Structure 1
Amino acid sequence: MLKNVPKILSPQLLKVLCEMGHSDRIVIADGNFPSESVGKDAIVIRMDGHGIPEILDAVLKLFPLDTYVEKPVNLMEVMPGDHVETPIWDQYADIVEKNEGSRGQIGHIERFRFYEEAREAYAVIATGEQALYANIMLQKGVVQ
Protein backbone atom coordinates (compact mmCIF):
# COMPACT_ATOMS: atom_id res chain seq x y z
CA MET A 1 0.00 0.00 0.00
CA LEU A 2 1.05 3.55 -0.65
CA LYS A 3 -0.10 6.76 0.96
CA ASN A 4 -1.76 9.65 -0.88
CA VAL A 5 -2.16 7.78 -4.19
CA PRO A 6 -5.74 7.97 -5.47
CA LYS A 7 -7.31 4.51 -5.14
CA ILE A 8 -8.63 4.60 -8.72
CA LEU A 9 -5.05 4.45 -10.08
CA SER A 10 -4.20 0.80 -10.64
CA PRO A 11 -0.64 -0.51 -10.33
CA GLN A 12 -0.55 -0.86 -14.13
CA LEU A 13 -1.56 2.78 -14.65
CA LEU A 14 0.90 4.01 -12.01
CA LYS A 15 3.67 2.10 -13.77
CA VAL A 16 2.75 3.64 -17.13
CA LEU A 17 2.60 7.16 -15.71
CA CYS A 18 6.03 6.63 -14.17
CA GLU A 19 7.52 5.19 -17.37
CA MET A 20 6.34 8.09 -19.50
CA GLY A 21 8.89 10.78 -20.26
CA HIS A 22 8.74 14.45 -21.15
CA SER A 23 6.46 15.10 -24.15
CA ASP A 24 4.91 11.62 -24.09
CA ARG A 25 1.13 11.67 -24.43
CA ILE A 26 -1.65 9.69 -22.82
CA VAL A 27 -5.25 9.55 -24.05
CA ILE A 28 -8.13 9.10 -21.65
CA ALA A 29 -10.79 7.77 -24.02
CA ASP A 30 -14.55 7.64 -23.79
CA GLY A 31 -16.47 4.41 -24.31
CA ASN A 32 -16.98 5.06 -28.04
CA PHE A 33 -13.30 5.68 -28.82
CA PRO A 34 -11.55 2.89 -30.80
CA SER A 35 -9.00 2.40 -28.03
CA GLU A 36 -7.69 -0.96 -29.16
CA SER A 37 -7.23 -0.08 -32.84
CA VAL A 38 -5.92 3.45 -32.30
CA GLY A 39 -3.78 2.21 -29.42
CA LYS A 40 -2.43 -0.88 -31.17
CA ASP A 41 1.12 0.48 -30.81
CA ALA A 42 0.48 1.87 -27.34
CA ILE A 43 -0.22 0.45 -23.93
CA VAL A 44 -3.99 0.15 -23.52
CA ILE A 45 -5.28 0.20 -19.96
CA ARG A 46 -8.89 -0.88 -19.44
CA MET A 47 -10.87 1.13 -16.89
CA ASP A 48 -14.34 0.41 -18.25
CA GLY A 49 -16.17 0.88 -14.96
CA HIS A 50 -15.04 4.48 -14.51
CA GLY A 51 -15.78 7.87 -16.00
CA ILE A 52 -13.16 10.25 -17.34
CA PRO A 53 -13.53 13.07 -14.77
CA GLU A 54 -12.58 10.85 -11.83
CA ILE A 55 -9.63 9.36 -13.74
CA LEU A 56 -8.47 12.78 -14.98
CA ASP A 57 -8.52 14.20 -11.46
CA ALA A 58 -6.51 11.28 -10.09
CA VAL A 59 -3.97 11.34 -12.94
CA LEU A 60 -3.38 15.09 -12.62
CA LYS A 61 -2.53 14.69 -8.93
CA LEU A 62 0.64 12.87 -10.07
CA PHE A 63 1.20 13.84 -13.71
CA PRO A 64 3.01 17.09 -14.57
CA LEU A 65 1.72 18.83 -17.69
CA ASP A 66 4.19 19.99 -20.32
CA THR A 67 5.07 23.67 -19.89
CA TYR A 68 6.95 23.82 -23.21
CA VAL A 69 3.80 23.61 -25.35
CA GLU A 70 0.91 26.04 -25.40
CA LYS A 71 -1.82 23.42 -24.91
CA PRO A 72 -0.68 20.24 -23.08
CA VAL A 73 -4.33 19.22 -22.67
CA ASN A 74 -6.37 18.62 -25.82
CA LEU A 75 -9.99 17.68 -26.44
CA MET A 76 -11.55 16.18 -29.56
CA GLU A 77 -13.53 18.88 -31.39
CA VAL A 78 -17.17 18.28 -32.19
CA MET A 79 -17.67 17.58 -35.90
CA PRO A 80 -19.53 20.27 -37.83
CA GLY A 81 -23.16 19.22 -38.11
CA ASP A 82 -23.09 17.15 -34.90
CA HIS A 83 -25.46 18.89 -32.53
CA VAL A 84 -23.80 17.61 -29.38
CA GLU A 85 -23.46 19.48 -26.11
CA THR A 86 -20.21 18.94 -24.21
CA PRO A 87 -20.83 19.89 -20.56
CA ILE A 88 -18.14 17.39 -19.56
CA TRP A 89 -15.56 19.85 -20.96
CA ASP A 90 -16.50 22.28 -18.16
CA GLN A 91 -15.78 19.52 -15.64
CA TYR A 92 -12.39 18.97 -17.29
CA ALA A 93 -11.60 22.69 -17.10
CA ASP A 94 -12.48 22.71 -13.38
CA ILE A 95 -10.27 19.66 -12.77
CA VAL A 96 -7.33 21.13 -14.71
CA GLU A 97 -7.69 24.44 -12.88
CA LYS A 98 -7.88 22.68 -9.49
CA ASN A 99 -4.73 20.65 -10.17
CA GLU A 100 -2.73 23.07 -12.32
CA GLY A 101 -4.03 26.52 -11.35
CA SER A 102 -5.21 27.49 -14.85
CA ARG A 103 -7.76 26.59 -17.51
CA GLY A 104 -5.65 28.11 -20.29
CA GLN A 105 -3.80 24.88 -21.01
CA ILE A 106 -6.75 23.27 -22.79
CA GLY A 107 -6.90 23.15 -26.58
CA HIS A 108 -9.06 21.42 -29.18
CA ILE A 109 -8.03 19.13 -32.02
CA GLU A 110 -10.17 18.29 -35.05
CA ARG A 111 -11.61 14.76 -34.72
CA PHE A 112 -9.56 12.95 -37.39
CA ARG A 113 -6.36 14.76 -36.42
CA PHE A 114 -7.05 13.74 -32.82
CA TYR A 115 -7.15 10.09 -33.95
CA GLU A 116 -3.85 10.55 -35.82
CA GLU A 117 -2.14 12.11 -32.83
CA ALA A 118 -3.63 9.47 -30.51
CA ARG A 119 -1.95 6.76 -32.63
CA GLU A 120 1.38 8.22 -31.45
CA ALA A 121 0.37 8.20 -27.77
CA TYR A 122 2.38 6.22 -25.24
CA ALA A 123 -0.81 4.90 -23.66
CA VAL A 124 -4.59 4.91 -23.99
CA ILE A 125 -6.91 4.55 -21.03
CA ALA A 126 -10.16 2.96 -22.22
CA THR A 127 -13.00 4.09 -19.94
CA GLY A 128 -16.72 3.50 -19.69
CA GLU A 129 -17.41 7.23 -20.12
CA GLN A 130 -20.72 7.70 -21.93
CA ALA A 131 -20.49 11.42 -22.73
CA LEU A 132 -19.91 12.11 -26.41
CA TYR A 133 -16.70 13.87 -27.51
CA ALA A 134 -15.28 13.24 -24.05
CA ASN A 135 -11.81 12.12 -25.21
CA ILE A 136 -8.87 14.00 -23.71
CA MET A 137 -5.15 13.86 -24.43
CA LEU A 138 -2.48 14.93 -21.91
CA GLN A 139 1.16 15.71 -22.71
CA LYS A 140 3.62 15.01 -19.92
CA GLY A 141 6.01 17.62 -18.63
CA VAL A 142 8.76 17.50 -16.04
CA VAL A 143 8.61 17.64 -12.27
CA GLN A 144 10.19 20.87 -11.10
Structure 2
Amino acid sequence: MLKNINPLLSPDLLHALRSMGHRQDLAIVDANFPCDPKSRVIRLDGISATDALSAVLSVMPLEVEEPATAWRMIADSKPDKILPIFEEFTSIVGQNAPGTALTAIEPSEFKDRASNSYAVVITGERRLYGGVIVRKGVIPPDA
Protein backbone atom coordinates (compact mmCIF):
# COMPACT_ATOMS: atom_id res chain seq x y z
CA MET A 1 0.00 0.00 0.00
CA LEU A 2 1.06 3.57 -0.68
CA LYS A 3 -0.07 6.70 1.09
CA ASN A 4 -1.61 9.65 -0.73
CA ILE A 5 -1.88 7.79 -4.05
CA ASN A 6 -5.28 7.62 -5.72
CA PRO A 7 -6.34 3.94 -5.64
CA LEU A 8 -7.38 4.13 -9.31
CA LEU A 9 -3.71 4.43 -10.25
CA SER A 10 -2.82 0.81 -10.96
CA PRO A 11 0.77 -0.44 -10.76
CA ASP A 12 0.99 -0.46 -14.57
CA LEU A 13 -0.33 3.08 -14.83
CA LEU A 14 1.98 4.38 -12.10
CA HIS A 15 4.92 2.76 -13.89
CA ALA A 16 3.96 4.41 -17.18
CA LEU A 17 3.47 7.83 -15.57
CA ARG A 18 6.82 7.63 -13.81
CA SER A 19 8.54 6.41 -16.98
CA MET A 20 7.15 9.16 -19.20
CA GLY A 21 9.39 12.04 -20.06
CA HIS A 22 8.70 15.74 -20.33
CA ARG A 23 6.35 16.59 -23.20
CA GLN A 24 5.24 13.02 -23.80
CA ASP A 25 1.51 12.40 -24.17
CA LEU A 26 -0.90 10.10 -22.36
CA ALA A 27 -4.22 9.18 -23.98
CA ILE A 28 -7.19 8.32 -21.76
CA VAL A 29 -9.90 6.83 -23.95
CA ASP A 30 -13.37 5.35 -23.75
CA ALA A 31 -14.23 1.65 -23.83
CA ASN A 32 -15.06 1.72 -27.55
CA PHE A 33 -11.83 3.37 -28.69
CA PRO A 34 -9.92 1.37 -31.33
CA CYS A 35 -6.46 0.81 -29.96
CA ASP A 36 -3.46 -0.25 -32.03
CA PRO A 37 -1.73 -3.20 -30.35
CA LYS A 38 1.66 -1.50 -30.89
CA SER A 39 0.71 1.09 -28.25
CA ARG A 40 1.47 0.58 -24.58
CA VAL A 41 -2.04 -0.25 -23.38
CA ILE A 42 -3.18 0.08 -19.78
CA ARG A 43 -6.69 -1.05 -18.88
CA LEU A 44 -8.89 0.61 -16.28
CA ASP A 45 -12.09 -1.28 -17.01
CA GLY A 46 -15.08 -0.07 -15.03
CA ILE A 47 -13.52 3.36 -14.40
CA SER A 48 -14.85 6.51 -16.09
CA ALA A 49 -12.49 8.56 -18.23
CA THR A 50 -13.11 11.58 -15.99
CA ASP A 51 -12.16 9.64 -12.85
CA ALA A 52 -9.08 8.30 -14.63
CA LEU A 53 -8.09 11.83 -15.69
CA SER A 54 -8.52 13.12 -12.13
CA ALA A 55 -6.38 10.30 -10.77
CA VAL A 56 -3.64 10.82 -13.38
CA LEU A 57 -3.49 14.57 -12.82
CA SER A 58 -3.25 14.05 -9.06
CA VAL A 59 0.35 12.92 -9.67
CA MET A 60 1.30 14.12 -13.17
CA PRO A 61 2.00 17.78 -13.94
CA LEU A 62 0.59 19.18 -17.16
CA GLU A 63 2.85 21.01 -19.59
CA VAL A 64 2.24 24.76 -19.27
CA GLU A 65 4.85 26.20 -21.66
CA GLU A 66 3.01 25.25 -24.85
CA PRO A 67 -0.20 26.72 -26.29
CA ALA A 68 -1.94 23.31 -26.37
CA THR A 69 -1.30 20.50 -23.90
CA ALA A 70 -4.69 18.82 -23.54
CA TRP A 71 -6.90 17.64 -26.40
CA ARG A 72 -10.36 16.17 -26.99
CA MET A 73 -12.22 15.13 -30.11
CA ILE A 74 -14.58 17.30 -32.11
CA ALA A 75 -18.06 15.76 -31.81
CA ASP A 76 -20.24 15.23 -34.89
CA SER A 77 -17.98 17.44 -37.07
CA LYS A 78 -19.08 20.47 -35.01
CA PRO A 79 -16.08 22.11 -33.28
CA ASP A 80 -18.35 24.25 -31.08
CA LYS A 81 -20.49 21.33 -29.87
CA ILE A 82 -19.78 20.92 -26.16
CA LEU A 83 -20.80 17.60 -24.66
CA PRO A 84 -21.11 17.21 -20.88
CA ILE A 85 -17.97 15.04 -20.80
CA PHE A 86 -15.99 17.86 -22.47
CA GLU A 87 -17.10 20.22 -19.69
CA GLU A 88 -15.96 17.67 -17.10
CA PHE A 89 -12.57 17.23 -18.81
CA THR A 90 -12.17 21.02 -18.99
CA SER A 91 -12.95 21.40 -15.30
CA ILE A 92 -10.48 18.69 -14.27
CA VAL A 93 -7.71 20.09 -16.47
CA GLY A 94 -8.38 23.61 -15.19
CA GLN A 95 -8.25 22.52 -11.55
CA ASN A 96 -4.83 20.98 -12.11
CA ALA A 97 -3.32 23.58 -14.45
CA PRO A 98 -5.22 26.87 -14.21
CA GLY A 99 -5.47 28.64 -17.53
CA THR A 100 -4.89 25.45 -19.54
CA ALA A 101 -7.50 24.95 -22.27
CA LEU A 102 -8.84 21.76 -23.75
CA THR A 103 -8.15 21.91 -27.50
CA ALA A 104 -10.71 20.37 -29.87
CA ILE A 105 -9.24 18.32 -32.72
CA GLU A 106 -10.70 16.14 -35.46
CA PRO A 107 -11.29 12.49 -34.50
CA SER A 108 -8.70 11.33 -37.04
CA GLU A 109 -6.06 13.62 -35.52
CA PHE A 110 -7.06 12.46 -32.02
CA LYS A 111 -6.59 8.83 -33.06
CA ASP A 112 -3.18 9.62 -34.59
CA ARG A 113 -2.08 11.45 -31.44
CA ALA A 114 -3.35 8.61 -29.26
CA SER A 115 -1.49 6.00 -31.29
CA ASN A 116 1.70 8.05 -30.92
CA SER A 117 1.20 8.63 -27.20
CA TYR A 118 3.54 7.13 -24.65
CA ALA A 119 0.63 5.05 -23.36
CA VAL A 120 -3.09 4.61 -23.95
CA VAL A 121 -5.34 4.11 -20.93
CA ILE A 122 -8.52 2.30 -21.94
CA THR A 123 -11.26 3.04 -19.44
CA GLY A 124 -14.76 1.73 -18.97
CA GLU A 125 -16.16 5.08 -20.17
CA ARG A 126 -19.32 4.54 -22.24
CA ARG A 127 -20.03 8.13 -23.24
CA LEU A 128 -19.27 8.91 -26.87
CA TYR A 129 -16.17 11.03 -27.53
CA GLY A 130 -15.02 10.09 -24.02
CA GLY A 131 -11.31 10.53 -24.61
CA VAL A 132 -8.69 13.08 -23.68
CA ILE A 133 -4.95 13.38 -24.32
CA VAL A 134 -2.69 15.20 -21.87
CA ARG A 135 0.96 16.21 -22.18
CA LYS A 136 3.32 15.70 -19.28
CA GLY A 137 5.00 18.79 -17.88
CA VAL A 138 7.68 19.29 -15.26
CA ILE A 139 7.84 19.93 -11.55
CA PRO A 140 9.94 23.09 -11.24
CA PRO A 141 12.82 23.26 -8.78
CA ASP A 142 12.21 25.06 -5.51
CA ALA A 143 12.91 28.76 -5.86
* TM score, norm. by length of structure 2: 0.89
- Distance of 1:124 and 1:97 partners within structure 2: 22
- Distance of 1:18 and 1:59 partners within structure 2: 11
- Distance of 2:64 and 2:102 partners within structure 1: 12
Unaligned runs of 5+ in 1: none
- Secondary structure of the residue aligned to 1:64 is coil
- Distance of 1:2 and 1:120 partners within structure 2: 31
- Distance of 2:57 and 2:27 partners within structure 1: 13
Of 116, 119, 133 in structure 1, the residue corresponding to residue 112 of structure 2 is 116
- Distance of 2:103 and 2:10 partners within structure 1: 28
Q: Following superposition of structure 1 onto structure 2, how do residues 24-63 of structure 1 map, counting pairs within 5 Å?
A: 24-35=24-35, 37=36, 40-63=37-60
- Secondary structure of the residue aligned to 1:90 is helix
- Distance of 2:76 and 2:106 partners within structure 1: 8
Structure-2 residue corresponding to 1:94: 91
Structure-2 residue corresponding to 1:16: 16
Calculate the aligned-residue CA RMSD, in Å.
1.5
Deviation at 1:42, TM superposition (A): 2.2
Q: Does 1:74 align with 2:102?
A: no
Output one character per residue of 1:42-85: Cα deviation in whole Å (capped at 9) or x when no partner: 2100111110111111110111111222111100111327xx86
Conserved in 2, the CA contact under 8 Å of 1:86 and 1:132? no
Structure-2 residue corresponding to 1:7: 7
Unaligned runs of 5+ in 2: none
Aligned residues: 138
Q: List structure 1 runs of 4+ shifted beyond 4 angstroms.
A: none
Amino acid at match of 2:105: I
Percent of residue pairs bearing the same amino acid type: 36
